[in-house]
Amino acid sequence: MSEIEEKVTCPLGSKCFEIKDNTPYRCAWHIKMAGEDAQGERHDEWGCAIAWQPILQTEMANTNRGQTAAIESLRNETIKRQDIALSMAQDMSKNDAKVINPK
């Protein structure tokens, strides 16, 4: 059984790139994306900026998850150290008759 060839067309009726009268015409949304994948392999690929949006949004979400985890880790470490400092200050206040009340 032979495969059916799928043709992708522009919903705006435009062509991404064409040559007319020896002049290249390129859609403003036809952009080159360059970068590395998760395995470190380099990729350079041309495509429609609108079509790239789901891929870029997924990448942004992954980046945000990593940043959120790092911020949460920093927060937890900060609270732990603040608790230690407050405990030390309270221990010192017992000797100096000063009271530090945490809120």
For the chain, the structural domain boundaries read 17-95
Q: Tell me whether strands 23-26 and 17-20 are parallel, antiparallel or unpaired.
A: antiparallel
Give me the pLDDT at residue 100, please. Answer: 58
pLDDT single digits (tens) 2-21: 788 887 778 888 888 888 88
pLDDT in tens for each of the 103 residues of the chain?
678 888 777 888 888 888 888 899 888 899 999 988 889 899 999 999 999 999 899 989 988 998 999 999 999 999 999 998 888 888 776 665 555 566 6
The residues, any chain, with a CB within 8 Å of residue 31's CB and separated by 6 or more, are 46, 47, 48, 49, 52
The residues, any chain, with a CB within 8 Å of residue 71's CB and separated by 6 or more, are none
- What does the alpha-carbon distance between residue 53 and residue 75 come to, in Å, rounded to a whole number? 32
Report the first-to-last Cα separation within the chain, whole angstroms: 74
